């Protein structure tokens, strides 16, 4: 890529402080310029707004769930309404927030910037994927307005095929369409990372976020078609009774669980791998040290992505799956702990003797490491056949996967958002409030979900709107924690929006980080780079340039 005429024009019209007058946010105006954009940075922002809407809706459902569970009696909702609440909470959060979350927002924005490219390989397909996501989301919202769905987000047969009378097919179609959005995003990333790296940017000079996004994309491409087919088969079974899942017609309901978890277990890694990539960036930057064991961390991402496809049967230990298959899945599931532990140990080793600064993104990253470790180790417990038989379908499971998805994936997402917000918007957010939000979220999260480990171990099953009175103390704790957690999530919403208008202008490299994305202006020009960057060194060559003084001072 050479310097284009418009880039030269942009460079000519530089502001006194050296930042260009036009950038991707003010290059064009109007609704059409956003809805028909092919700029990966604008599409990332479209995604950011849409997934935030779904996060808010899913969060609202969580609030209602925790309100109901504050008392042992089912006094706020009827059981069938409660079933719809937790189902829609799961569907919205997983398919419309967590899975598109980091890849589609941070990945879209950062991958071309990090590899020194002008855009993704297929900008039109990138826009198409946002439209598919939106159409899928609208289908699901439409179903929500028409009573929602009450099968649990897992759509288990025969409940979903033979018994419930809710909008199973509409929500299924919504997820099916959103799945294509996910496949297209993954495809775009893989092609971009293979073919559009800047001169000199070899595979082992790639930032670890790009490795994480690459591993995620592999799962999106290979796994998503399977759940698409599984959902179509549920729809076909409901309407035409073709007999895939119905034993009366020669089918097997457990086959659905196989097909569902073949995607939905790796889908957990779609959520966590990009977060791990973010954390690798944050830990290196805020320790002022190169990441310890770069190649191990990079290959651990690929290892998790591939091993993730070998373990799905651990969701089915007590479902009627053969006990021998269960033994194999149990052993294989424990293997996932190896690459995960490699990452955690290497982050810790990076921190060792580092020059650590307690900036907001780092607080989120440290929160991630602790919470992910708890979530991961309880996962190893659950991979054990004996323990799983005891705590299957209890709150122990709920606590475990929320530690991974909320404590892991969302902490990483927020850490990344705080880290790259100055790059995305060209504005700084208030450091005090943002640090406070990280601490409030960490505390709120633990108060919400740690009691659920105990509740589950004591035998409280998931998915019931009432429970024996002896569980009330821990449930009230959990509901109180959820209030704190909700407050913690509202804080970034407020100060991020505030910062867009009132935040102090951010320099190009506020954190003194290495990485190509920091070598262009904040916000970046439409072309990303005014001249083609050439890479001559490995990533994370810390100690790097000095930090911008206004960040050190605080705002």
Establish if 458 lies at the interface with another protein (CB under 8 A). Answer: no
Show contacts with another protein in window 187-216 (CB under 8 A): 194
Q: How far is the CB of 302 from another protein (least distance, A)?
A: 12
Please choose, out of 34-42, 89-97, 252-260, 459-467, the segment that lies near another protein by the rule CB under 8 A.
252-260
The span from the CA of 127 to the CA of 117, in Å, is 17
Q: CB-based contacts of 514: which residues, under 8 Å, 6+ apart?
A: 285, 539, 540, 541, 542, 544
Which ranges of 204-289 does DSSP label H, i.e. alpha helix? 208-240, 253-287
Total residues at the site for another protein (CB under 8 A)? 20
Please choose, out of 87-95, 105-113, 306-314, 524-532, the segment that lies near another protein by the rule CB under 8 A.
306-314
Tokens 């951010």 identify what position? 506
Q: How many CA atoms lie within 13 A of 349 on its CB side?
A: 13
**Which of these, 550, 536, 463, 466, lies nearest to 505 by C-alpha position?**
550
Among the listed residues 176, 309, 413, 495, the single contact to another protein using CB under 8 A: 309
Among the listed residues 62, 85, 178, 226, the single contact to another protein using CB under 8 A: 226
Establish if 439 lies at the interface with another protein (CB under 8 A). Answer: no
Establish if 396 lies at the interface with another protein (CB under 8 A). Answer: no
Please choose, out of 67-75, 105-113, 159-167, 320-328, the segment that lies near another protein by the rule CB under 8 A.
320-328
Establish if 381 lies at the interface with another protein (CB under 8 A). Answer: no
**Which of these, 511, 532, 507, lies nearest to 521 by C-alpha position?**
507
Structure tokens at 138: 């609208």
- Smaller CB distance to another protein: residue 70 or 302? 302
The span from the CA of 273 to the CA of 174, in Å, is 24
Q: How far is the CB of 173 from another protein (least distance, A)?
A: 23
Enclosing H/E stretch for 454: helix 431-458
**Which of these, 54, 28, 37, 266, lies nearest to 130 by C-alpha position?**
37
- Smaller CB distance to another protein: residue 60 or 229? 229
Establish if 222 lies at the interface with another protein (CB under 8 A). Answer: yes
User: Which residues are 14's β-sheet partners?
Assistant: 20
Which ranges of 103-251 does DSSP label H, i.e. alpha helix? 108-114, 123-145, 168-195, 208-240
The span from the CA of 153 to the CA of 89, in Å, is 8
For the chain, the residue count is 555
- Smaller CB distance to another protein: residue 128 or 222? 222
Q: How far is the CB of 215 from another protein (least distance, A)?
A: 13
Establish if 322 lies at the interface with another protein (CB under 8 A). Answer: yes
Establish if 180 lies at the interface with another protein (CB under 8 A). Answer: no
Establish if 313 lies at the interface with another protein (CB under 8 A). Answer: yes
Establish if 331 lies at the interface with another protein (CB under 8 A). Answer: no
Residues that bind another protein (CB under 8 A): 194, 222-223, 226, 254-255, 258, 262, 309-310, 312-313, 320-325, 328-329
């Amino acid at each position: 890529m050479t310097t284009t005429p418009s880039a030269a024009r942009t460079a000519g019209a530089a502001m006194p402080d050296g930042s260009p007058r036009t950038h991707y946010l003010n290059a064009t105006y109007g609704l059409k310029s956003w809805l028909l954009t092919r700029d990966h940075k604008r599409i990332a922002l479209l995604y950011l707004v849409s997934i935030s809407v779904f996060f808010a809706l899913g969060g609202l459902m969580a609030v209602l769930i925790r309100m109901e569970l504050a008392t042992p009696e089912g006094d706020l909702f009827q059981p069938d309404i409660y079933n719809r609440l937790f189902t829609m909470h799961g569907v919205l959060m997983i398919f419309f927030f967590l899975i598109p979350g980091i890849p589609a927002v941070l990945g879209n924005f950062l991958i071309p910037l990090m590899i020194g490219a002008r855009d993704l390989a297929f900008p039109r397909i990138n826009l198409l994927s946002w439209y598919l996501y939106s159409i899928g989301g609208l289908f699901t919202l439409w179903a929500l307005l028409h009573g929602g769905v009450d099968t649990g987000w897992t759509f288990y047969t025969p409940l979903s095929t033979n018994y419930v009378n809710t909008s199973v097919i509409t929500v299924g179609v919504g997820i099916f369409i959103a799945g294509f959005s996910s496949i297209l995003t993954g495809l775009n990333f893989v092609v971009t990372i293979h073919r559009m790296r800047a001169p000199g940017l070899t595979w082992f000079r790639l930032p670890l976020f790009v490795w994480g996004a690459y591993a995620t994309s592999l799962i999106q491409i290979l796994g998503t078609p399977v759940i698409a087919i599984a959902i179509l088969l549920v729809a076909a079974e409901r309407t035409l009774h073709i007999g895939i899942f119905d034993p009366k017609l020669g089918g097997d309901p457990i086959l659905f669980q196989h097909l569902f978890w073949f995607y939905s277990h790796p889908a957990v890694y779609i959520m966590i791998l990009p977060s791990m990539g973010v954390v690798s960036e944050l830990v290196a930057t805020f320790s002022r040290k190169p990441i310890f064991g770069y190649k191990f961390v990079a290959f651990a991402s690929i290892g998790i992505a591939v091993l993730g496809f070998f373990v799905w049967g651990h969701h089915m230990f007590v479902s009627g799956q053969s006990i021998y298959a269960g033994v194999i899945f149990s052993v294989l599931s424990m293997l996932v702990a190896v690459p995960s532990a490699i990452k955690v140990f290497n982050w810790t080793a990076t921190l060792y003797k580092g020059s650590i600064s307690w900036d907001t993104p780092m607080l989120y990253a440290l929160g991630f490491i602790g919470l992910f470790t708890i979530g991961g180790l309880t996962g190893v417990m659950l991979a054990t056949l004996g323990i799983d038989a005891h705590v299957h379908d209890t709150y122990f499971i709920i606590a475990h996967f929320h530690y991974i998805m909320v404590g892991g994936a969302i902490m990483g997402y927020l850490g990344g958002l705080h880290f790259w917000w100055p790059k995305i918007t060209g504005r700084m957010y208030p450091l005090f409030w943002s640090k406070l939000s990280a601490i409030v979220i960490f505390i709120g999260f633990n108060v919400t979900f740690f009691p659920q480990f105990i509740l589950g171990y004591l035998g409280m099953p998931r998915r019931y709107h009432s429970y024996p009175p002896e569980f009330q103390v821990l449930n009230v704790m959990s509901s109180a924690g959820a209030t704190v957690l909700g407050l913690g999530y509202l804080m970034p919403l407020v100060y991020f929006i505030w910062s867009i208008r009132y935040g102090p202008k951010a320099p190009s490299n506020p954190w003194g980080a290495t990485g190509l994305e920091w070598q262009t202006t904040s916000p970046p020009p439409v072309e990303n780079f005014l001249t083609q960057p050439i890479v001559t060194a490995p990533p994370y060559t810390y100690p790097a340039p000095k930090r911008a003084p206004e960040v050190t001072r605080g705002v």
